Amino acid sequence: MTHDFSQEMIEDRESQNQQGNTWREYFSFNTDHKVIGIQYMVMTFIFFLIGGLLAMLIRAELLTPESNLVDRPLYNGLFTMHGTIMIFLWIIPFNAGLSNYLVPLMIGARDMAFPLLNAISFWILPPAGLLLLSSFFLPNGTAQSGWWSYPPISLQVPGDQFINGEFIWIVSLVLIGISSIMGAVNFVTTIFWMRAPGMTFFRMPVFVWSVFSAQLLQLINLPALTAALILLLLDLSFGTQFFKPDENGDPIIYQHLFWFYSHPAVYIMALPAFGIFAEVLPAFSRNPLFGYRSVAIATLGIAAISIFVWVHHMFTSATPGWMRMTFMATSMLVAIPTGIKAFAWTATIWRSKLHLETPMLFAMGGAAMFIFGGVTGVMLAATPFDIHVNNTYFVVGHFHYIVFNTITMAIFAAIYYWFPKITGRMYAEGWGKLHFWLTFIPANITFFSMHPLGLQGMLRRVSSYDPQYQGWNIIASLGSFLLGASTLPFIANIVGSWLYGPKAVDNPWHATGLEWTTSSPPPRDNFEEIPIVTRPPYDYGNPKYSVIVNSDNSE
């Protein structure tokens, strides 16, 4: 693969060095990990906006108890696409993009292990995403069975065309899966083989640990989803009977295969977010990360435990009692390593002078929200409680506290934190703070309201509901519209600053870490010469870093 193309790649690299940085680079097949990282991040953000628009439509429909804004099949398509896009085309690939940009810089490598494979990984995604969106224009609309796509309901497609929404959905997801597997092979190899001299495993930043753990999960678990999707496709279009209960098939097998990937998927999304917290919190509290080794091992621990918890999504799927008990216990075990992390973050900022720039606000907000989402998670892990609120808005509230209030907040923190490094320019702090408050408060309004709704028994994935639920639904909808509006200052800030912002210095936050030792943005080969690492990470006790950060970080 890489070796065979090395000569071409060297020529490729030289020609690009002469080209300089133009916007055209980002629409070409480029093998530089920094270009690929930006490609990922910008593309996934566009999908984030699309997914958010679908969420706005869902919330607008739920303003009234009747189903009057969109018809039911379209509503089914809306929540299916919202879930699919937000998971498979926003958070997971955004993390892949951010990791792509940062991991080689953080471990002192010139590029990823397989640059060509890296570019292929990215370029699979836009066609797959467009394919998924194109199913809106099919005569019978998109897939309608939710992002789980459980059989037998997902096999009951309207009309009898060969090319239907479900078919497109499966093909698109398999493509995204192939891209993820390639990326995972690349990341694991990069972290094992490309570290700079002296960069031992226990000198790596926690973000690299997080990416490493998350990508291991991709490798171990994602093939199960691919297998499930292949079986589903055969059932759907080629007349096999794996999941057809009326012909001896067993739909529960699909659930096992699906959740064997899709539960670890939550950690594939969350671990990089925890890594971002571990980078941002020390930098703005000027403290070393508390219990660095424990946090690093806890990262691997979360990954390891998360492989063995998938049945907690199936407590009401005729699961035998012994299995319920076992998986209740393993699910609650996850709280231990995540607790280690949460206490480490808290102890890091304990009694320190906080510098409340935008990344810090987002990181602290996200970490605080993770506590709330985590507590409801432990509640849901308890089988009796879960049977009670299964498939209600309580579950929706819980995982939105994780995927939006924790992970997307962390992603925003990362965007603001590494913005000067990635673009070479500084964002507008005031706009950033406005964006934070516009995100934090409405997000809590929106997703907190879902908990009482769920406890009162409102089911998810319905477009019409009993009038008794209308009060909380209106609150949630209004919050969500504010949340939608909050992206406007963000986009204005990012686009405007990227184009016209003041030039940023190399290390505006006075942060440790190899990525800050390069220029902003880093040169094509990242480092003038490969650094030799002699110090532990988060070395904020070192006098070199004991400078008080000023708010003015531009030249």
Partner 1 sequence: MQSRHIDESPIRFDLWRQRLPNWLQRFLPSGGGSHEDHHGKGMFGFTVFLLSESIIFLSFIFTYVALRLTTKNWLPPGISGPELSTFVVINTVVLLSSSFIIQPAENALKHNQLSKFRWLWLITIAMGSYFLVGLLIEWKNLDFKITTGLVGSTFYLLTGFHGLHVLAGVVLQIVMLIRSFIPGNYNKTHFGTSATTLFWHFVDVVWVFLFSLLYLWRT
Site residues, partner 1 (CB under 8 A): 1-4, 6, 107, 109-110, 113-114, 181, 184-186, 188-189, 192-202, 219-224, 226-228, 230-231, 234, 238-242, 247-250, 253, 256-257, 260, 287-288, 292-293, 352, 530, 532-533, 536-537, 539-541
* Helix/strand/coil for 163: coil
Q: Nearest distance from residue 508's CB to partner 1, in Å?
A: 23
DSSP state string for 501-522: PPBBPS-TT---SGGGGS-SSP
Q: Nearest distance from residue 312's CB to partner 1, in Å?
A: 19
Q: Nearest distance from residue 493's CB to partner 1, in Å?
A: 33
Residue 57 or 181 having the CB closest to partner 1 = 181
The C-alpha atoms of residue 171 and residue 97 are separated, in whole angstroms, by: 22
Q: Nearest distance from residue 320's CB to partner 1, in Å?
A: 13
Q: Token match 């984030």: residue?
A: 48
Residue 56 or 344 having the CB closest to partner 1 = 344
Residue 296 or 504 having the CB closest to partner 1 = 296
Residue 229 or 280 having the CB closest to partner 1 = 229
Q: Nearest distance from residue 249's CB to partner 1, in Å?
A: 7
Residue 242 or 399 having the CB closest to partner 1 = 242
Query: In degrees to the nearest 10, what's the CA dihedral of 499, 501, 507, 510?
Result: -140
Q: Nearest distance from residue 543's CB to partner 1, in Å?
A: 10
Helix (H) or strand (E) holding 11: helix 6-19
The C-alpha atoms of residue 229 and residue 83 are separated, in whole angstroms, by: 17
Residue 107 or 443 having the CB closest to partner 1 = 107
Residue 102 or 381 having the CB closest to partner 1 = 102
Cis peptide before 521 (omega within 30 of 0): yes
Burial 114-133 (b: 16+ CB within 10 A, else e): bbbbbbbbbbbbeebbebbb
Q: Nearest distance from residue 509's CB to partner 1, in Å?
A: 18
Residue 17 or 546 having the CB closest to partner 1 = 546
The C-alpha atoms of residue 179 and residue 196 are separated, in whole angstroms, by: 27
User: How many residues are present in the chain?
Assistant: 555
Cα end-to-end span (Å), the chain: 43
What CA–CA distances, in Å, run from 442 to 4, 255, 369, 478?
52, 34, 13, 8
Q: Nearest distance from residue 181's CB to partner 1, in Å?
A: 6
Residue 394 or 540 having the CB closest to partner 1 = 540
Q: Which of 388, 489, 404, 492 is nearest to 440 (CA)?
A: 404
Q: Report the 10 Å Cβ neighbour count for 198.
A: 12
Contact 69, 61 (CB under 8 A): yes
Q: Nearest distance from residue 272's CB to partner 1, in Å?
A: 19
Q: Nearest distance from residue 238's CB to partner 1, in Å?
A: 7
**Pair of tokens at residue 346:** 């808290």
Contacting residues for 62 by C-beta, under 8 A, at least 6 apart: 463, 465, 473, 476, 477
Residue 29 or 201 having the CB closest to partner 1 = 201
Q: Nearest distance from residue 185's CB to partner 1, in Å?
A: 5
Residue 6 or 17 having the CB closest to partner 1 = 6
The C-alpha atoms of residue 542 and residue 12 are separated, in whole angstroms, by: 41
Q: Which of 299, 102, 103, 97 is nearest to 191 (CA)?
A: 103
Contacting residues for 135 by C-beta, under 8 A, at least 6 apart: 141, 142, 143, 165, 168, 169
